[in-house]
A = this chain, B = another copy of it.
Amino acid sequence: MSYYIGIDVGGTTIKGAIIDSAGKLYGEDSVVTGKGEEIVKGIAAVCGRLIALIGKGEKIVGVGIGCAGVIDGENGVVAQANNLQLKNFPLAKKVEERVHLPVKITNDANAAALGEAKFGAGKEYRDSILVTLGTGVGGGVVIDGKLFEGNKSAGAELGHMVIERGGNRCSCGRRGCFEAYSSATALIKRTKWAMEEDVSSAMWQSCTSDTAKGRTAFDYADTDIAAHEVVEWYIKYLACGLVNLANIFRPQIIMLGGGVSNQGENLTVPLQQILDREVFAGFYAPVKVATATLGSKAGAFGAAALWID
């Protein structure tokens, strides 16, 4: 029997999981994320406890790490991860020295995409995309069952595709990026704006504009015009980005992850209608839209899957 360790290095927590090639979970562990070198210690501690869960003599094939930031997977180096205070940091090698197992690394969004593709909503499909609707819009692309990363693993920056030239400012410096409209951040900003514009909106019943959440507009969309408009606005832009990705990559499925994806069919039903109508030659090669299913486990599962064919 062979086992695989997956590690998801996020801004606040390092999460680990040990699985088999079918994605069966044998143990989980986590630790608070430190800065710089402490991250290596944290990963080693998590790996150590996961290894201890498995009987001696069992084979652990390798450790996969999904890490926030710009990752040079080919060389095992974190090129830049500001939140983690890592720069040109040979993470794979440093973890190998402590854990005595071979290590592969990738970007955390890519790892999540591979996890969902192998063991989540995409497991029936060869070609899939995960789009995460969180603080930003992240995601990853799996082609023929393999993670697509681009040169120096710098591709698949799906959130930084301009869909409205000259539009809202994005964190990347450009205007009108997909992320500037379809992130939870953008949804909340629009919700606040709509509330402030319409003091009669029912949205004021559950929160102030300071405490509005990604779900606020969805909660009142059936009965309140202002809330309904926010949801329509959000879906319109999200659909625009997804149709673009369908035309560019033509996956069999696009999966939605991140906080906003908890809206489930409130999103997938109208989005599927738009995709069916607007995707280029969609009659010939339709693209399904679905909610991701692994939640916060996707990253660690996908990181482990870097070792699974």
Contacts and interface: CB of A to CB of B under 8 A. Distances in A.
A154 interface: yes
B165 A284 contact: no
A226 to B, nearest CB: 21
Interface centre among A127, A162, A166, A172 (most CB of B within 10 A): A162
Interface string A148-185: 11111011111011111111000011100000000000
A251 to B, nearest CB: 6
A278 interface: yes
A218 to B, nearest CB: 22
Given A127-B150, A162-B240, A284 B248 contact: no
B70 A173 contact: no
A94 interface: no
A148 B142 CA distance: 12
A280 interface: yes
Contact of A250 (B155, B172, B284): B155
Given A163-B163, A285-B151, A248 B79 contact: no
A26 B149 CA distance: 37
A143 interface: yes
A181 to B, nearest CB: 9
Nearest to A69: B281
A172 B167 CA distance: 23
Interface string A130-146: 00000000000001000
